[in-house]
Amino acid sequence: MMDIKSDKQHTYWNPYLGGFLLGLILIMTFFLTGRGLGASGAAKAIVTQTVHTVAPTHAENNAYYADQFLGGKVPISNWLVFEVIGVVAGAFISGSLSGRVFFRVQHSPKITARKRLWFALLGGALFGFGAQFAKGCTSGAALSGMTVLSLGGYIAMLSIFGGAFLFAYFFRKLWL
């Protein structure tokens, strides 16, 4: 299950080509729909839908949940949920073409897979929590915001990457 050697076969694209194509995708998305790309919003939709289904009154009493289903809106029918389903499929196609699709845990040889998984859970929780304050993550707030020259987008980019550089030293043993 864990085949770290095959991860070393780097057949990734030139980053500038990837960035250029990603830029074209952003242009098309804005041109067609008027909105940008995102990711964390899909998690928000899943959480809200689940809470609303399990405890409807509780959800209606919380302004943060209620905002997403007021006026008959269905949280899980959010644009980003469909987009994220597409992302899974797109990544699967790309990975399949390069022989990168198989179950494993990727981690530094100096830490155990178990430790990697716990820190992935912790990092995800922090990211999901922080993205709510900013109303978006690296793709929705920073990248899409920067595309339309939005001040909020630039602040998001500087804070996310600034924060990561600030804290990177303390977690170097997870990666180096």
Partner 1 sequence: MGPLIPEILSDQWNNIIAIITGMAFGFVLESSGFSSSRKLVGVFYGYDFAVLRVFFTAAITASIGLLFMDYFGWIDMAALDGLPARVWPIVVGGLIMGLGFVTGGFCPGTCITAIGIGKLDGFMFFGGIILGVFVFSEMFPLFENFYNSSNLGDVTVPEFFNINPYWFTVGISIIAIVAFYAVMLIQKRIKSVEY
Q: According to CB under 8 A, which residues from 84 to 103 bind partner 1? A: 84-95, 98, 100-103
Query: Does 52 contact partner 1 by CB under 8 A?
Result: no
Separation CA 168–CA 160 (nearest Å): 12
DSSP annotation of 72 reads: G
Binders of partner 1 in range 4-33 (CB under 8 A): 7-8, 10, 12-13, 15-16, 18-33
Counting residues that bind partner 1 (by CB under 8 A) gives 125
Question: Tokens 């709510």 label which residue?
Answer: 132
Separation CA 137–CA 158 (nearest Å): 12
Query: Does 115 contact partner 1 by CB under 8 A?
Result: no
Question: Tokens 């952003």 label which residue?
Answer: 26
Binders of partner 1 in range 116-175 (CB under 8 A): 116-139, 141, 143-168, 170-172, 174-175
